[in-house]
Homo-oligomer: A and B are copies of this chain.
Amino acid sequence: MDKIFRHIEQNLDDSIETLFELVRQPSISAQRIGFDKAPQLVAAVLERYGFDAEVLHPPNDGLPSVYGYASASPEAFRRACEASVNAHRADIAPPTLLLYTHYDVQPVDPLHLWDTAPFEPTRKADRFYGRGMSDDKGNIAARLAVIKAFQDEWGGLPCNVKFFAEGEEESGSPNLGEILKEHGWKLTADACIWEGGGRTAQNKPLIYLGLKGVLAVELAVESLSGDAHSSYATVLPSAPWRLLDALSTIKDTSNDRVLIQGFYDDVKAPTAPEEEALSKLPDDSELWRSTFGTDAFVNDLPDDELPLNHLFMPTANIAGLTAGYQGEGMKTVLPAEAVAKMDFRLVRDMDPDDVFSKLRAHLDSYGFNDVQLKLIGAVRPYKTDMMAPWPQLVMRCAAEIYDAEPVVYPTMAGSGPMHEFGELLGIPIASAGIDHPSHQIHAPNENIARDDFVLGAKHIARVMQRFAAGM
């Protein structure tokens, strides 16, 4: 494996050139920018790295994903087994690894806060700047660096590799289910490395094993056929007051408890290993206080209860409020309409469709039949069992490469389409990546540090070798 690790180091310039090539091509899914060329570019890069690549279009006007397949070479498979003293396995067929990534990126605004142009990759000392440089084109390029190392040093891949690059992850993966309905059979695998993960602020290896789901809805009240002069507030019903009444039944803000009947039915307490992992998570409380300029947390949570709440509890968030006049000064208007956008983060076993039904029933039971409820988006939660062999392998390899015990998040607080692969295709999932809090993902001046790229690639290389050798 030393040759593999050395290859990753010594060929870093080539790997970064591939990364720059990907970053140069915009691919903002929320704004559908760059998709006339981006999928073809990703497919061409995969082909160059030895994959049979294919652009997978959803059966609608959604943005395509890109898929690549490369078979294991018998020689590399044998060397992988030898490297783990598992040569007795070299007579069976090599296993298949799925690499999940996405090639779409977040919008770049506010543009004026960027020090360099987001789609003109720029090196400054040991960091490389540009939109997608870390999230998630950095992961694509780091994985390809591993592929190249095995090909050059071992004459091929130690296991079969399926490379999946989604095109709508940053937009909530609205069409991934449709793509998998048609092409899912190609994506079956024995294990999956998710995007994300890497290092914590304290430079410990970071692995996560799940993602929350999310239900996004719009609540609208239309109380009048048109806005009225506010002097009519004496007699006409008010859409904003009505919406406020409805919203205030959804959550008891005094204890941050969601009041929708049955909302917490599927919420589980952490398992014993999860409890232990939680206790080892870094204390982010000071970081959050300074980053978000707040003294107190929700429900006056003490610092040591933050991780449990952050990772194992669902939310009811108001993402937007709109009614009436919002400009400078005053317009004395009685608004005919009021709208709230809400998102509910859902933990494993919660079902966004079920929560949507419960929310509708909740509103009706309080007499808010007049509140219109619209489904904007739904992502299902997923979490891999911490004690399963696959995440345990990924953790062991991380401890070796980073020379530190990994910090394991049983789930992230954010959301992503893990459910489609983990639950529907039944593939065990763990993340391994190149991320670090200093990378400013989703923000201006997104970047990647050289060391994160190299370490992340080495980690995946080690995982691939041990995976091929039978873990």
Contact surface of A with B, Cβ cutoff 8 Å = 30-31, 106-107, 171-172, 212, 214, 216, 223-238, 240-242, 244-245, 247-248, 251, 253, 288, 291-294, 296-298, 301, 306, 309-311, 313, 315-336, 338-341, 343, 345, 376-377, 412-415, 441-443
Contact = CB atoms under 8 A, between A and B. Distances in A.
Shortest 8 CB-CB contacts between residues of A and residues of B: A225-B293, A233-B317, A231-B413, A240-B318, A320-B324, A321-B323, A233-B315, A231-B414
A310 B228 CA distance: 14
Contacts of A232: 288, 292, 310, 413
A321 B326 CA distance: 7
Q: Per DSSP, are chain A's interface residues mostly helix, strand or loop, or mixed?
A: mixed
Nearest to A441: B229
Contact of A245 (B216, B241, B253, B325): B253
A260 to B, nearest CB: 15
Contacts of A225: 291-294
Contact of A326 (B240, B297, B310, B322): B322
Given A30-B330, A288-B236, A343-B332, A321 B324 contact: yes
Contact of A231 (B234, B329, B415): B415
Contacts of A229: 414, 441-442
Contact of A292 (B226, B288, B318, B412): B226
B298 A236 contact: yes
B315 A319 contact: no
Q: Point out which of A233, A236, A340 has the most chain B C-beta atoms below 10 A from its C-beta.
A: A233
A318 B309 contact: no
A407 to B, nearest CB: 17
Nearest to A106: B331
A347 to B, nearest CB: 10
A232 B345 CA distance: 10
Nearest to A247: B244
Given A107-B327, A329-B376, A230 B298 contact: no
B247 A251 contact: no
Given A223-B294, A232-B292, A292-B225, A319 B327 contact: no
21 contacts: A107-B325, A172-B330, A224-B294, A225-B291, A230-B317, A231-B412, A232-B310, A232-B413, A233-B315, A233-B343, A235-B301, A236-B288, A237-B294, A237-B297, A244-B244, A244-B253, A318-B335, A321-B323, A322-B326, A332-B343, A332-B415
